[in-house]
Amino acid sequence: MTALVESLVAGKWLVQDDAERAPDRDPARLSRVLAQVPQSGEALVAGAVAAASEALPAWRTTSPLKRGKILLRAARIIAERGEELAGLMTAEQGKPLAESRGEVERVVDFCEWMGGQGGAMSGITAPSEDPGLFAFTVLEPVGVVGLITPWNFPLNIPNWKLASALLHGNTVVLKAADLTACCAQELVRCYHEAGVPAGVVNTVTGSGRVVGGALADHPAVAAISFTGSTAVGLGLAARLAGRGAKSQCEMGGSNPVVVCDDADLERAVAHVVVAAYGTSGQRCTAARRVIATPAVHDALVDALERGRRRLVVGPGDRDGVDVGPLCDPRGLDDVLAAIGRARAAGADVRGGVRLDGELSDGLFIEPALATGVTAQMELGHEEVFGPVLAVQRARDYEDALALALATDYGLSASIFTQSLARAMDFTRRVHSGMVHINKGPIGGESHMPFGGARRSAFGPKEMGAARDFYTQNKTVYADVRLEA
């Protein structure tokens, strides 16, 4: 019998036998159904929020040091289950097993780092204009927080939101993507086993429209952290603003990689191939556009084409595979349609066709390399969420910078150059939340802020900057004068 994904409410795992279900399929073998995902309604969301509200007073007054110890225990449990979790991620999301193992390591790293921050949750002390007053601030949790997470990093993104919210004293209702609901369920089981009290973490499955909408409108939900598309994120932020709730939205990107004439070409190609085609291009920070200056353009295109052709496409559990399937059938259709529009607009696209034969039961696409792309073309400024890399020819460095800026997004950007002055100029002038010098635009470290600018993000950044979103300052003035 196919497993039924459960929801966690008030410390109890619930089997929703009477709810409508959506199949959770292996994207490498669509005929294989891994689980059925109940489509929860507003009533279950309300129950989860009520449980989080009830658990909030005790959790917010629990010492941050004790909350941190629970995260450290969760890290150990996740590490012990690492191989099992990696295999589940590959089956459910599709990414190669090596990538899944790396993601589990990132989850453990972040839990360990955030767990150690319990003793760092300090405010400030400051002098007062009145010498008889002692002025200071304390950090307090926001309250009940909704977490809405995507399917491309089915353990890492839910985890960095969960760990951040919990360490800072908030209670949570998690709505993870249905396409990777099993991964989210097992992650929460690890937290539950680590000792998170009943009601502190609750999970609900179902559609973003119903579950996400119910969370956004519930008056007891003080904030929502969202990762997903720009259109949905901005709509969610506006919806929350209408009732004065906080939002944190990490959204899309059309991430540029500028390769200058003096770049180390071999290094640039190695990084770009991984950044463009790793995770089948399903990363918000993936390299979407390579912008090459004249002297390096032709050699760069040839080298990228050789790198693209060397990639092995197939099921993620197969040895030697570099690129797995796409995760979402609708996403595959969107990517193929965007490639068709690029060809119609005059771009030369190599690859970019759906693979059949032994791979016909999966969502496999041949990685695509598009040349002759202009800023006016869709590939020149929009996000296509798949293994598609566009190459743009620039007249010089200034033109390359202008092309890099010719988008409404601003998540991540890279430059390859041996000139420190040019690298620093690019860092200063590019409109991007993250900049990478002589490396691809992917990656981030636990202690550093993660997030974008412009239409790539709304609200405070994540990971190393989590405190900015998950806490609020309380200012205290204490009259400490002795009575005469």
Same structural domain, 266 and 208: no
Same structural domain, 239 and 323: no
Q: How many domains in the chain?
A: 2
Query: What is the spatial distance between Cα 468 and Cα 106, in angstroms, rounded to a whole number?
Result: 22
Q: By residue range, what is the domain housing residue 120? A: 3-251+456-475
> Does residue 359 sit within a domain?
yes
Partners of 242 in beta bridges: none
Question: Which candidate, 452, 403, 382, 431, places its Cα nearest to that of 260?
Answer: 403
> Does residue 482 sit within a domain?
no
> Does residue 443 sit within a domain?
no
Looking up residue 30, the CATH number of its domain turns out to be 3.40.605.10
> Does residue 484 sit within a domain?
no
CA separation (Å) from 124 to 168, 192, 258, 394, 443? 16, 33, 42, 49, 32
Query: What is the spatial distance between Cα 151 and Cα 177, in angstroms, rounded to a whole number?
Result: 5
User: Helix or strand or coil: residue 150?
Assistant: coil
161 Cβ contact partners less than 8 Å away, ≥ 6 residues apart: 147, 149, 174, 225, 227, 462
Neighbours of 320 (CB within 10 A): 7
Query: What is the spatial distance between Cα 74 and Cα 78, in angstroms, rounded to a whole number?
Result: 6
Question: Which candidate, 27, 463, 70, 417, places its Cα nearest to that of 260?
Answer: 417
Same structural domain, 198 and 270: no
Same structural domain, 188 and 275: no
Q: H helices within 242-293, ranges in order?
A: 265-277
> Does residue 448 sit within a domain?
no
pTM: 0.95
Residues in the chain: 484
Same structural domain, 360 and 337: yes
Strand 453-454 to 409-410 pairing:
antiparallel
Same structural domain, 102 and 185: yes
Query: What is the spatial distance between Cα 247 and Cα 229, in angstroms, rounded to a whole number?
Result: 14
Same structural domain, 206 and 352: no
Q: What are phi and psi for residue 40, nearest 5 degrees?
A: -65, 155
**Below-50 pLDDT ranges, the chain:** 1
Q: H helices within 94-133, ranges in order?
A: 97-115
Same structural domain, 350 and 433: yes
Same structural domain, 141 and 277: no
Same structural domain, 305 and 400: yes
> Does residue 236 sit within a domain?
yes
Query: What is the spatial distance between Cα 180 and Cα 5, in angstroms, rounded to a whole number?
Result: 10
Same structural domain, 235 and 279: no
Partners of 226 in beta bridges: 148, 249
Q: Give the pair of three-digit tokens for residue 269.
A: 């190609």
Q: How many CA atoms within 13 Å lie on the side-chain side of 99?
A: 29
Write down the pLDDT at residue 481.
Answer: 85
> Does residue 483 sit within a domain?
no
Q: Let me know the angle formed at the C-alpha of 112 by 111 and 118, rounded to the nearest 5 degrees.
A: 90
> Does residue 170 sit within a domain?
yes
Neighbours of 481 (CB within 10 A): 11
Q: List, by residue number, the catalytic residues.
A: 250, 284
Write down the pLDDT at residue 484.
Answer: 54
Looking up residue 323, the CATH number of its domain turns out to be 3.40.309.10
Query: What is the spatial distance between Cα 228 and Cα 210, in angstroms, rounded to a whole number?
Result: 16
